[in-house]
Every structure is written in C-alpha cells, then in structure tokens.
Amino acid sequence: MINFYRSKSSFNSKNLTDFIDTRECVEIKKHIYSVLENDPLFHRPEGNQSLDDIRKRTHLQAKRFIDYGFFNDHRGKTLPLYYQALVTALVQYDICVLFKSTISVHFFGACIRGLGTDEQQKYFDDACDEKLSGCFALTEVAHGTDAKRMRTTATYDPRTKEFILHSEDFESAKCWIGNLGQGATHATVFAQLVTPDGKRQGLHAFVAPIRDPNTFLAYPGVLVGDMGEKIGLNGMDNGFCMFNQYRIPRENLLSKYGEVSEDGQYYSMIKDPNKRFGLLFYSLYFWLRVWWGSGP
C-alpha cells in the first residue's frame, strides 16, 4: 500500500531520505538491517512468548549487538549523524534492545564519568567489562524526575564512616528504573545528602550495590520490585526499589563536586547550592552527549 502512495508523490523519496539523513547514514542503517536480518538470534519468534522468555531474548540480543561493535565504530567520531542512524535502526527493530544495550554503560557510566573522581572510575571500567550491571536511579513515585524534590536521603554516620540510604515511604521509592527489575547489581542513586548536623546539602549521586552478583538476590536493607508487563516494552525490566537504613561506604558518594570528610564535614569547591545542582545534571548531559556524539 505504501508503495502505491509513494508512486503518486511529486518527488523521489529516496533522494529526500539521502538529503535528510545523508547517504553515509542511510548506508549505515542498511548495513545494520542486513546484519540483524542475517543473524538468527534477531529473527522474530513465532507465537506468544512469556515475559521471562522475552526478557531473556532481549538480554541476549543486546549482548550480541554490543559484540558487533557498532557503538565503538570509528565513524562515530567523524560522522555527526552516525549515532542517530544507529539508534534509529535499532529502535525500528526493538527499542528494548537499545535500552538494554546502553543503560549499564551509557547511563550508569555517565554518572561515574561526570560525577566521580579518578579513583571512582573503576565502576565505569567494571560496567564496560560486564563485571557489574548498572542502572540510573533518579525517578521517584511522588515527584517523577522533579530532581529538587527527591525524597530519598543519604545521612552520613561519622562513627562508621558510612552513608545511610533511606526511603521514608513508598512515595520516595525509586521507580520505573530501567534494568532494575531483574538485571542490575549496582545503581547510581540520587539522594538528598544529610550531614551529621542535620543540614541537607542537596541532591548527590551515590553508587549503591543492589544485588549479590552471584545469586542476584537483593542485599538486606534493599527492597526491589519488578514492574511487570508493559505495552511495547516487555523486553526491558523496569523496577522500583526502597532503602531501609541501608549502609554504604563513605567512598561511594560520587564526589567530584562535593565530598564529606571522615568526621562529617561537607566540602565543595562550588559554594552556591543552586549552581552545584545545575552542574550535577550538566555533567551527566555532557557525558551522554559525548557518547552519542562521538562514541563511547
């Protein structure tokens, strides 16, 4: 049917596509389509599949797509629209494969790269080497992505040199987090940092181990839930989590722009809390743009 209407147009649709996307990017998409078409793992299954089967299949497809090396292609550094072509091609196949293949390294990794110190880059390296599976835990039930109103707290205890992550109620639960439902072992958790004097120092990011990497059971003090079936997004295991006085080491605060000393003193080179808040998300945006603009 679509070919009939294309034949009625007053212009050549292929020429228009080449003009908008560039010929190089059109060829990139064709190559990706060809690779997926010739790989049995990406062939459409027949009949109905269970939610578990869909997720297992998506996980295997994401790993296979990463192994093909499209995310590390040198053309990403020279063609401005390369990653747009890659994302478009993969979304047209299955957006869940795109999400599953990028959340751990690109989103969890953006937090580490943008907000962590040099010593904390080990988490990024482990995500790239698949020694851990990460997720990006910002959104909460009560306020969505209204970051200034996040209610999860991270209170520093100078006696043990630990932060205590806590969710006051279900409205403060981290919610709709991609990769958290079943697969994530670690999360970058955005929480209000509270120093021993009771003062809130604003939103900060923390690396929180969520599950044992061998058993995939949640650690004591962490309640994790799977959000189940979703229309058009069943390959992605979105989840929620709550913390009950859950302790993590002081070193797990991503402390590029703000840190807490062993005795509980807060330090930051940026004194204005509003500027510090803005820089928090600017750094994340910057690293995401670095990846999607010029490759991982």
Nearest to 111 by CA among 147, 135, 87, 133: 135
CATH of the domain at 233: 2.40.110.10
Which of 65, 93, 121 terminates a domain? The answer is: 93
- Token digits of residue 29: 């998409």
For residues 156 and 86, membership in a common domain is answered with no
Residue 295: strand, helix, or coil: coil
Q: Smallest Cα–Cα separation from 267: which of 250, 287, 245?
A: 250
* Same domain assignment for residues 155 and 241: yes
Count of the separate structural domains present in the chain: 2
* 123 within a domain of the structure (yes/no): no
Statement to judge: residues 226 and 174 lie in one domain: yes
Q: Would you mind telling me the total number of residues written for the chain in this entry?
A: 296
pTM: 0.85
How many helices, marked H, and strands, marked E, lie in the chain?
A: 9, 11
- Do 150 and 88 belong to one domain? no
In a domain, 240, yes or no: yes
Does 113 map to a domain?
no
CA dihedral 69, 98, 186, 177 (to 10 degrees): 170
Q: Nearest Cα to 231, choosing from 60, 111, 25, 54?
A: 54
Q: What are the distances in angstroms from CA 250 to CA 1, 258, 264?
A: 62, 12, 10
Q: Are 96 and 235 in contact (CB under 8 A)?
A: yes
**CA dist., res. 115 & res. 13, Å (int):** 45
Q: Is residue 275 part of a domain?
A: yes
pLDDT tens over the chain, length 296 residues: 788 887 888 888 888 888 888 888 899 999 999 999 999 999 999 888 999 999 999 999 998 998 898 887 777 777 778 888 888 899 999 999 999 988 988 889 889 988 999 999 999 889 888 899 999 999 999 988 888 899 999 999 999 999 999 999 999 999 999 999 999 999 999 999 999 999 999 999 999 999 999 999 999 999 999 999 998 899 999 999 999 999 999 999 999 999 999 999 999 988 888 888 887 877 777 666 555 544 44
Residues 6+ apart with CB under 8 A from 63: 101
Same structural domain, 81 and 179:
no
Domain that holds residue 222: 131-287
